[in-house]
Amino acid sequence: QVQLVESGGGLVQTGGSLRLSCASSGRAFSSFAMGWFRQAPGKEREFVAGIAGISWRGGTTRYADSVKGRFTISRDNAKNTVYLQMNGLNPDDTAIYYCARSPYGTIDFNVGNVVWGQGTQVTVSS
């Protein structure tokens, strides 16, 4: 069974930065798209960023409009790890951030068999 473990969350002031990490125990990590989602209290889970697997436009990324220019997703396939560098944080970024593994190499998560991590809390104070 694939497991995803997020880390790197914490408390930061407005304008600060954090880097989230997601380590995967699954095989063929490089083949599958990875992504980050977040969920704030009382709100729906939303897509934040995704990165394609190496077998399908490896390195291709996609971002939510709300984080474009501030967040950067990347992956280190040798370490089975995906990262989310978050800069220019504001209180609207406060949420639990979840790592996700797509069953495909394309950045597709509205499908079955998506694997989710346990989440890591990001809190941005004013």
pLDDT of 58 reads 64
Q: In the structure, what pLDDT confidence band is assigned to residue 86 with cuts at 50, 70 and 90?
A: very high
What is residue 102's three-state secondary structure? coil
Give CA–CA dist 87/95, Å, rounded.
15
Phi/psi of residue 77, nearest 5 degrees: -65, -30
Per the model's pLDDT, the better-predicted residue between 23 and 54 turns out to be 23
Q: In the structure, what pLDDT confidence band is assigned to residue 37 with cuts at 50, 70 and 90?
A: very high
pLDDT of 78 reads 92
